Amino acid sequence: MTLFKNYIAKQWKLLLLPMFAMIVSICADSSYPYFQKIFIDNIILGHMDNYLIIFLIVVASVALTHGLFSYLNEYLFDKFALIVCKKLRQDLYSKFQSFEFSFFDNNNTGELLSRIIEDVDVVWDTLSFGLRLLLEAIILFSVSAFIMFNINKTLTIICLLVLLPVAYIGTIMDKKFWTVYSQISDQTAEINSIVQQDVSGIRLVKAFAREKYEISKFLKVNKKFFDLNVEQAKIVGTYGPIIELLTNAAPILMIVYGGYLCIQGNLSFGSLVAFTSYIFNLSWCVKNLGFFINLLSQNKASMGKITDILDRNSEITSKENGYNPTEVKGDIIFKNVSFSYNNVEVLHDINLNIPHGSTVAIMGTTGCGKSTLLSLIGRYYDVTKGEILVDNVNVKNWNLETLRANMSVVFQDTFLFSDTIKNNIDFGSDKSESALIKAVKDSAAYSFIKEMPEGFDTIIGERGLGLSGGQKQRLAISRAILRKSPILILDDSTSALDMETEFKVLQNLKNDKKKATTFIIAHRISGVKDADIILFMKDGRIVEKGDHSSLVKAKGYYHSVYSHQFQDFEALTLEAN
């Protein structure tokens, strides 16, 4: 119903012309058997030779009309299907863009690709071919049956009674097909997911010499896909011959009984010939019922999965008439903030007051909640308890687009598109060349970009293929700097930089005239020691807070990390002295 209500019904005007063309085409096609009757009964047996030229002109005109309107019918139905599927893909993609991070945490890439590619292709097949086939069959069946009734009612009823059980068989096939195709759709998504992951991680696979393991894993999934398709073939093999038998029985009965009527003089020879053609028209319609049910079952399975996505609402939405300031300072307050993920509380009672322009560094053990804490500011996830204020306004009351537009984030997992360096940094913001150059200089990326064969126009591989980890991080930082947002988050984004480059980048950020409220997650003391506020987290709690000097004097967790990282340096200093 979603497909009809939201897409087909809204484009119904586009169906008027192809439907008209279909009716004209089928009426023209249905006239050929009747022309056979006229030719045999009137011109040949009736010796009306003087009408032959006129007859041939009429037949040629009908054939030309049939060809022209058949072309229009097929072309316009295909165009209608393409328009509907274009809108369907756009809506799916827009839905993906609106969903919160947790949706993508729980759905793999291959499955989502299957929805927007394979499943939409099934819908296209259904509309461009299946719908046209169904309508053609209904109209052709109706026109042929009407003409047959006018020729001989008894013979028509006998033929229809033979074909009637095919409709019942069709309902059985539909149920069986739907179950299989739903599983085939899921298995297609799993295959896509495995291939996508293995291609993306092919270097890891080869580095560990795990090609055979990955092949065996794929073979298991592919075997299940094969078995499901064999099951589908069994359904066709079981019911297909029965449909074929019934559709072939109708012409045989017609020839036997029609021949008897013809011998008795109750049916003309021309009518028998015409009736033979019309019964084959009916048989063609009924035979295609099985194919249409097959296609319809695929469509039901695919649309079911597409509808699940289209009907899903994002768990994080922008408040209607939300706070939309013209200027954002970047004051941030955490009030008694707790956060749960999959019903497990991972952040506990966080309280912070960060003045705008401050630099806040966060340290802690792996998995202690550092990245999660910062992801709450932009509402990539929503707090479970408490509230977060930006410029004294709860982030839930902000216009979501405005809030995120005033933030620049460099994630822990650096992502670069397969595009030019310029487009990766600019990211559609159309900044000036001078602003672009300043951003890459501030991120210490200018030197290696100049050495590239095409400079800023150099195309880099998918996910930054061909660049070192440090180069990728510097490009990602350039992208964030260019945005000039009042809030900047660097989530362990200097980990691949040497200490000298890291120092340059952080100093450039600190010396910016319009300094952003900056959050830095790092594991090296060198990356956090100059921050205004340093937080140390453990098990989802802030266990230490202060600046470098105060935390070293406190001799707690921060001092322990400091001592560990600088003990070799101090030993070397003593040795040098």
Q: Give CATH 1.20.1560.10 domain extents, the chain.
A: 2-310
**DSSP codes joined into one string, 361-413:** EEEESTTSSHHHHHHTTTTSS--SEEEEEETTEEGGGB-HHHHHHTEEEE-SS
Distance CA 291, CA 314 (A): 38
The mean per-residue pLDDT over the stretch 218-239 comes to 87
Residue 573 has pLDDT above 60, yes or no: no
- 3 state DSSP class of 524: coil
pLDDT classification of 459: cutoffs 50, 70, 90? confident
**By CB neighbour count within 10 A (0-12 exposed, 13-18 middle, 19+ buried), where does 434 fall?**
exposed
Which of 445, 469, 468 lies closest to 456 in space, CA to CA? 445
Reply yes or no on whether the pLDDT at 64 is more than 90. yes
How many separate helices (H) and strands (E) can be counted in the chain?
21, 10
Tell me whether strands 517-521 and 359-364 are parallel, antiparallel or unpaired.
Answer: parallel
Q: What pLDDT is attached to residue 21?
A: 92
Of 386, 541, 435, 410, the closest CA to residue 487 belongs to 410
Residue 418: CB atoms within 10 Å: 12
Token output for 180: 């299989």
pLDDT of residue 92 exceeding 50, the answer is: yes
3-state SS, one letter per residue, for 461-516: CHHHCCCCHHHHHHHHHHHHHHHCCCEEEEECCCCCCCHHHHHHHHHHHHCCCCCC
Q: Which CATH class name applies to 2-310? A: mainly alpha
Burial class for 411, CB neighbours closer than 10 Å (0-12, 13-18, 19+): middle
CB atoms within 10 A of CB 575: 7
Q: Provide the residue count of the chain.
A: 577
The pLDDT tens digits for 475-523 are 999 999 998 899 999 998 888 888 888 888 988 888 877 889 999 999 8
> In which band, very low, low, confident or very high, does the pLDDT at 575 lie, cut at 50, 70 and 90?
very low
Whole-angstrom distance, CA of residue 369 vs CA of residue 399 = 26
Alpha helices (H) in 99-131, listed in sequence order = 101-106, 109-114, 120-125
Question: What is residue 322's three-state secondary structure?
Answer: coil
* pTM for the whole structure: 0.78
Q: Which residues contact 403 (CB under 8 A, 6 or more apart)?
A: 378, 379, 390, 395
Burial class (CB in 10 A: 0-12, 13-18, 19+), 495: middle
How many other CB atoms sit within 10 Å of the CB of residue 444? 21
H/E run at residue 217: helix 211-264
C-alpha 549, offset from chain centre:
51
304-348: per-residue pLDDT in tens?
889 999 999 998 999 888 999 989 999 999 999 999 988 899 999
pLDDT tens for each residue of 364-408: 988 899 999 999 999 999 999 999 999 999 999 999 999 999 999
Nearest Cα to 123, choosing from 310, 313, 314?
310
How far apart, in Å, are the Cα atoms of 444 and each of 349, 481, 489?
Answer: 38, 12, 18
For residues 301 and 146, the answer to whether their CB atoms sit within 8 Å is no
CATH for 328-406+519-577, options being 1.10.540.10, 3.40.50.300, 3.40.50.150, 3.60.15.10: 3.40.50.300
Q: Say yes or no to pLDDT of 572 above 60.
A: no
Chain region(s) in the chain for CATH 3.40.50.300: 328-406+519-577
Cα-only R_g, the chain: 36
Q: Please state, in angstroms and as integers, the Cα–Cα distance from residue 189 to each residue in 23, 112, 116, 227, following that order.
A: 39, 8, 11, 16
Mean pLDDT of 169-193: 80
Query: Which secondary-structure segment (H or E) carries 172?
Result: helix 165-200
- Which pLDDT score, from 0 to 100, does residue 571 have? 52
Q: How far apart are the first and last CA of the chain?
A: 82
DSSP 330-348: --EEEEEEEEEETTEEEEE
| Chain mean pLDDT for the chain | 86
One-letter amino acid at 289 equals L
- Rounded Cα distance, 334 and 339, in Å: 12
